[in-house]
């Protein structure tokens, strides 16, 4: 519970700083080596999260931290996997669909996850012994225990009964469309919903979407927190190619194609 509270506190504090930059309009953007954008909001959020989590003594693997060689981190039995601003492209498009993702991974498996959407103030979290929950954060200084106590368990009681499938707003492709067609009955009405960032996984955890297929490159920090939240909501994330589990803190941090359902 103590680690969950620290992760929630870090996510909300980082989200408040992201929102400040977002609403101010003073956004500075540069390109990383892989040509993906990084903003001053990404970097400010990353610093806040690292500062909050360092008291745990658990190393942090973050998209915006200095690269840690595999020879060093392969000995980490526990680590935080962090995306300080998941959905930077959505942030720049100003559609509000971006999140802060914090996961605790032990022995290559996510055991705790926190996802916070700064614009809507939606907080998702999951951990063993509790389950997964959704809450609305009323204030950035709100007591963490009060947030946890007021949260609603996932999946929600009013799950979507239609064949609603959530897909990436920025990365849907032919492979995704073909996969959806292969799983849809001839007389079944299929509804596609496009969302940005880890909110897609949260929709499946809630039960507002039946599944989320992802073909194409994603990184461990994109899905680790959502993986934990989904699994404690009774959902699964598995590889599309062989149905196997997804492992974390791999030498190559790229994920395989996966399905959340």
CATH assignment at residue 219: 3.40.190.80
Q: Are residues 94 and 119 in the same domain?
A: yes
Which residues span the domain enclosing 15?
2-153
The model's pLDDT over 198-222, given as tens digits with 9 standing for 90+, comes to 999 999 999 999 999 999 999 999 9
Q: Are residues 186 and 242 in the same domain?
A: yes
Q: How confident is the model at residue 173 (pLDDT cuts 50, 70, 90)?
A: confident
Q: Are residues 37 and 115 in the same domain?
A: yes
Q: Whole-angstrom Cα distance, residue 70 to residue 93?
A: 34
Q: Which of 92, 118, 153 is the last residue of a domain?
A: 153
Q: Are residues 24 and 149 in the same domain?
A: yes
Q: Are 21 and 27 a contacting pair, CB within 8 Å?
A: yes
CB neighbour list of residue 254: distance below 8 Å, 6 or more residues apart: 217, 218, 219
Phi and psi at residue 144, in whole multiples of 5°? -60, -40
Q: Are residues 107 and 219 in the same domain?
A: no
Least confident of 176-180, 186-190, 202-206, 216-220: 186-190
Q: Are residues 148 and 55 in the same domain?
A: yes
Percent with pLDDT over 90 in the chain: 85
Q: Whole-angstrom Cα distance, residue 260 to residue 256?
A: 13
Residue 179 belongs to some domain of the structure: yes
| CATH (domain of 42) | 3.30.540.10
Q: Are residues 63 and 128 in the same domain?
A: yes
Our CA angle for 129, 77, 217, nearest 5°, is 90
Structural domains counted in the chain? 2
Residue 158 belongs to some domain of the structure: no
């Amino acid at each position: 519970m103590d680690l969950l509270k620290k992760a929630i506190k870090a996510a909300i504090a980082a989200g408040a700083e992201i929102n400040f930059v977002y609403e101010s309009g003073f956004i500075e953007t540069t390109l990383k080596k892989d040509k993906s954008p990084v903003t001053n909001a990404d970097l400010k959020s990353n610093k806040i999260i690292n500062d909050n989590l360092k008291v745990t003594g658990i190393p942090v693997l973050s998209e915006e931290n200095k690269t840690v060689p595999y020879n060093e981190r392969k000995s980490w039995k526990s680590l935080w996997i962090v995306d300080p601003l998941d959905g930077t492209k959505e942030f720049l498009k100003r559609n509000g669909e971006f999140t802060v993702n914090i996961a605790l991974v032990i022995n290559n498996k996510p055991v705790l996850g926190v996802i916070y959407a700064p614009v809507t103030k939606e907080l998702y979290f999951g951990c063993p012994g509790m389950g997964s929950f959704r809450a609305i954060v009323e204030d950035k200084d709100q007591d963490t225990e009060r947030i946890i106590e007021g949260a609603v368990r996932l999946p929600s009681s009013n799950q979507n009964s239609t064949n609603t499938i959530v897909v990436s707003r920025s990365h849907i492709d032919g492979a995704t469309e073909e996969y959806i067609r292969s799983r849809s009955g001839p007389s079944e009405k299929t509804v596609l919903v496009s969302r940005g960032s880890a909110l897609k996984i949260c929709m499946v955890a809630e039960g507002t979407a039946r599944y989320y297929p992802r073909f194409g490159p994603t990184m461990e920090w994109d899905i680790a927190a959502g993986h934990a939240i989904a699994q404690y909501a009774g959902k699964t994330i598995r590889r599309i190619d062989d149905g196997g589990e997804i492992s974390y803190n791999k030498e190559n941090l790229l994920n395989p194609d996966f399905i959340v359902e």
